Chain A
Amino acid sequence: MSKHRDVTQERRLVQCLLIAGVALFLAIFLVLPLVIVFVEAFRNGVRTYFEALTDPESLAAIRLTLLVAAIAVPANLLFGIAASWAIAKFDFHGKSVLNTLIDLPFSVSPVISGLIYVLLFGAQGVLGPWLEAHGVQIIFAVPGIVLATIFVTFPFVARELIPLMQQQGTREEEMALSLGASGFKTFLLVTLPNIKWGLLYGVLLCNARAMGEFGAVSVVSGHIRGVTNTMPLHVEILYNEYSFAAAFAVASLLAMLALITLVMKSLLEWRFGAELAARKRHP
């Protein structure tokens, strides 16, 4: 802050009031909800906390959440790379339409995201009778949960990679190719190192949403304990049974996931801001 009065800044008093107001607002609206998760989780002591987490149904929920993320994230990673390669490295008709369609899942309510799979694969769904005849169950089973999760996390990786790869252009790849490198080698040794931080950034956000998704998964899961219950669904069941400490114990794991995601995301932005997409801020 310069000593003389800067005409492009507000008065010091106004600044202090605004900063204090914003800090107070964020503390009440964002910090308190985070704090209360841990306070409620440990309300009945550390023992109850760990008992709630090591309960067989909780463990099954944790396992299922990890399994679903382990399928959904790589699936969307692969799609993200393919889509950004096509969109960023080539000019073709209908490119902007494709770009818009990729974002579509972000503008659909999670509940509707689940509903569309029920309409497709459910007992009264379009493919329901056929699936039943062949003994395949998708809705109220793990495949439905995986599909709904892939849908809601669909744009994450592509959204990070497309602007980044567009900004980097095709010059480096063309040089590698003209020097005789194969297409695959060019991708592996030229493109991938250029996009690695953006890729990680996208995967991070994709994973957080995949593990935390509630609405879409809730519609297709059927809430079968120990079988189709992910962690967020288990939180709901425990909460509705008035097992508040247990519900908040499982919730605290998800809150820690959120905190780790935020810390890693901030580190990536501070350290590699310039290597993330152009629209990212790098203070």
Chain B
Amino acid sequence: MSGRRNWLQRLRQESAIPGFGLALGYSLTWLGLIVLVPLAVLVLRALELGPSELWRIISDDRTRAALRVSFGLSFLAAVVNGIAGLAVAWVLVRYRFPGRRLLDALVDLPFALPTAVAGIALTALYAPNGWLGSLLKMIGIKVAYTPLGIFIALVFIGLPFVVRTLQPVLEDIDHEIEEAAATLGARRWQTVFQVLLPTVFPAWLTGFALALARAVGEYGSVIFIAGNIPYVSEIAPLLIVIRLEEFNYAGATAIATAMLFIAFVLLLIINLLQVWTRRRLGHV
């Protein structure tokens, strides 16, 4: 007992608040059982396969195509989310107009709406006989059951990330900066594009990264609208499910490992970019 207390005392700073051992012990146990052990099993399974076997599965044509579809379309969707999300956040923060609060609340819909519901709803809308699908068909664009459909679904689920990351940052901008720019003779568009937007760029990157990460792993809203044609509109998460249904655990593990690895590298690059821009812009 006293040994344990000494260990705890060494771990933390002095405090009059009770319950540290219980709270931390419970948290760590629960975190370990639910999150860390199962994730560790995935890593162990991947290590068991060995690098050559892992590479053999990942470099398979169908896997490579699925990874390309997932990451390529997620990147495009995150870019569109970055542009649209910036416009939405700007309008919600900067302007006062009737219905603003309703629009603001609505932005969270993709978080709240179960992905399967979003999936069948988007499919119904963009199917060749759907409300939007029939309009787009007239100008020769097919959305549902093509990679374009995947892109639409990924834009839908990623939108709130950019908006919600940018809103507080846009709110915090000091109006004196803009006044100073205007006093110095800057046109409004110059102030916006050369003064304001660069200051929110690091936050924009965070939102972009969150939208990208979410899109890469997305499953429910995509599989209904995708058509799921191997090599064309088959996403990596779906291929994992297919491998599992074939009881091909090695295949599923390898694809999952590749996905996690690529996502990790992408997020690392974005993080470095963020550090670099922060330093360049002189932020703390």
Judge if B134 is at the interface, Cβ distance under 8 Å: no
Judge if B283 is at the interface, Cβ distance under 8 Å: no
Task: Please classify the interface of chain A as helix (H, G, I), strand (E, B), loop, or mixed, using the class held by over half of its residues.
Answer: helix
Whether the Cβ atoms of A183 and B19 lie closer than 8 Å is yes
A219 to chain B, nearest CB (A): 6
CA distance A259 to B105 in the complex (A): 10
Residues of A within 8 A of B45 (CB): 119
Residues of B in contact with A, size category? 35 or more
Residues of B within 8 A of A23 (CB): 99, 103
- Known A-B contacts A119-B45, A251-B116; the reply to A93 vs B11 at CB < 8 A is yes
- Known A-B contacts A126-B41, A212-B115, A254-B114; the reply to A90 vs B109 at CB < 8 A is no
B33 to chain A, nearest CB (A): 9
Whether the Cβ atoms of A235 and B35 lie closer than 8 Å is no
A188 to chain B, nearest CB (A): 12
Judge if B106 is at the interface, Cβ distance under 8 Å: yes
Q: Which of B8-50 contact A (CB under 8 A)?
A: 11-13, 15-20, 22-24, 26-28, 30-31, 34-39, 41-42, 45
Whether the Cβ atoms of B115 and A109 lie closer than 8 Å is no
CA distance A77 to B101 in the complex (A): 29
Residues of B within 8 A of A29 (CB): 155-156, 159
Q: Which of A101, A213, A219, A281 contacts B114 (CB 8 A)?
A: A213
CA distance A137 to B260 in the complex (A): 28
- Known A-B contacts A8-B182, A90-B15, A215-B220; the reply to A239 vs B120 at CB < 8 A is yes
Judge if B256 is at the interface, Cβ distance under 8 Å: yes
CA distance A18 to B92 in the complex (A): 10
Residues of B within 8 A of A111 (CB): 217, 219, 237-238, 240-241, 256
Judge if B63 is at the interface, Cβ distance under 8 Å: no
CA distance A45 to B192 in the complex (A): 52
Whether the Cβ atoms of A283 and B101 lie closer than 8 Å is yes
A7 to chain B, nearest CB (A): 4
Residues of A within 8 A of B30 (CB): 79, 82
Q: Mark B225-247, 1 if CB is under 8 A from A, else 0.
A: 00000000000011011001001
Whether the Cβ atoms of A101 and B113 lie closer than 8 Å is no
Chain A residue, CB-CB nearest to B264:
A107
Q: Which of B105-123 contact A (CB under 8 A)?
A: 105-118, 120-122
Q: Which of B183-199 contact A (CB under 8 A)?
A: 183, 188, 192
Whether the Cβ atoms of A255 and B113 lie closer than 8 Å is yes
Chosen A-B contacts, 22 in total, with CB atoms closer than 8 Å, are A22-B87, A26-B107, A30-B156, A31-B106, A36-B125, A90-B17, A91-B13, A102-B31, A104-B35, A107-B263, A111-B240, A120-B37, A125-B41, A147-B34, A214-B116, A215-B237, A219-B241, A235-B116, A254-B114, A258-B114, A262-B105, A262-B112
Chain A residues at the B interface, C-beta cutoff of 8 Å: 1, 7-11, 15, 18-19, 21-23, 25-26, 28-34, 36-37, 40, 78-79, 82-83, 85-86, 89-93, 98, 101-102, 104-105, 107-112, 115-120, 122, 124-126, 147, 150-151, 154, 170, 173-174, 177-178, 183, 186-187, 205, 208, 211-215, 218-219, 231-233, 235-236, 239, 244, 247-248, 251, 254-255, 257-259, 261-263, 265-266, 270, 279, 281, 283
